[in-house]
Amino acid sequence: MSEQEILARAFQEIVKTRRSIRLFDKVPVPEEVVRTALDLALLAPNSSNLQPWEFVWVRSTSKKEQLVQACFSQAAASTAAELIVCIARIDTWRRNCEDMKIQLKELANQGVRIPKAATHYYDKLVPMVYSQGPLGFWGVIKKLFVFFLGLKKPISREPSSISDMKIWATKSTALACENLMLSLRASGYDSCPLEGIDSKRIRKLLGLPGQVLIPMVIAIGKRRSDGVTLPRIRADKSWFVREV
């Protein structure tokens, strides 16, 4: 088998054996396995490299207990060895944009060729595209402007509201979450992405501002033999994949 075939088969095996696990065995997950999964999560592609994600690994016994309760004490949470709260933030892009500008400058100083478009992008375009102004007012202006300009030529339409920003941040965070879950599987461990959660209680528990989103809590552990409750079911592929 060629190197490439090994990679391709490995990936198929990882994806095909990943299931959402509802009951975990009472065995610990090596710290290294979780750390690797988190590291690989941060390598996901993300919008304009503004990294709107955050992952809180809840390890203290008392916080974990409260988190389990905020996940309705469902077995996937209560039997999990580890729990990670996955957060999408619409309030960190300015900070991360500034960091990009600094890092691009440092790279340039080291002799790396940085395209002018990249510098311009973070200096000028990012603030324009992602600012929505107080109460989203600037977003409304942008939407109007874009509507008229868009009559004549293609134009980028989102994000033009706080709501768009939430979609935007959730998207990149989900890409990272998938890396995280697949990494656990690749290491022989399992996960369950929990969306049935009390986001308000979790925000309070972690001291998060009201506007952050919690796309999911990822429960982590080793699957119990009865940890998969249903066979894998998908609707007919023709409903989801079209060629035109």
Residues 174-193 that bind a second copy (CB under 8 A): 174-175, 177-179, 181-183, 186-188, 193
Closest contact distance (angstroms) between CB of 134 and a second copy is 19
3-state DSSP call for residue 244?
A: coil
Taking CB under 8 A as the rule, does residue 126 contact a second copy? no
- # residues contacting a second copy (CB under 8 A): 101
Residues 197-216 that bind a second copy (CB under 8 A): 197-201, 206, 213, 215-216
Quick one: tokens of 35?
């750390």
Of the chain, the end-to-end C-alpha distance in Å amounts to 34
Is the bond preceding 159 in cis, omega lying within 30 degrees of 0?
yes
What x-and-dash track marks residues 71-90 binding a second copy by CB under 8 A? xx------------------
Taking CB under 8 A as the rule, does residue 222 contact a second copy? no
According to DSSP, the β-strands at 190-194 and 53-58 are: unpaired
Closest contact distance (angstroms) between CB of 124 and a second copy is 15
- Under 8 Å between Cβ of 6 and 14: no
Residues 6+ apart with CB under 8 A from 43: 179
Cβ distance to a second copy smaller for residue 26 or 240? 240
Closest contact distance (angstroms) between CB of 26 and a second copy is 20
Q: Look at the block and give the residue holding tokens 């982590």.
A: 220
3-state DSSP call for residue 197?
A: coil
Closest contact distance (angstroms) between CB of 32 and a second copy is 10
Q: Look at the block and give the residue holding tokens 């290294």.
A: 32
Taking CB under 8 A as the rule, does residue 196 contact a second copy? yes
Residues 11-50 that bind a second copy (CB under 8 A): 11-16, 18, 20, 36, 38-40, 42-45, 47-49
For residue 145, CA distances in Å to 134, 154, 155, 162 come to 18, 13, 10, 17
CB-CB neighbours of 209 under 10 Å: 9
Taking CB under 8 A as the rule, does residue 229 contact a second copy? yes
Q: How far apart are CA 90 and CA 88, in angstroms?
A: 7
Cβ distance to a second copy smaller for residue 26 or 152? 152
Residue in 76, 104, 126, 217 binding a second copy, rule: CB under 8 A: 104
Taking CB under 8 A as the rule, does residue 228 contact a second copy? no
Closest contact distance (angstroms) between CB of 65 and a second copy is 12
3-state DSSP call for residue 153?
A: coil
Residue in 26, 116, 152, 242 binding a second copy, rule: CB under 8 A: 242
Taking CB under 8 A as the rule, does residue 70 contact a second copy? yes
Quick one: tokens of 108?
């340039």
Taking CB under 8 A as the rule, does residue 108 contact a second copy? no
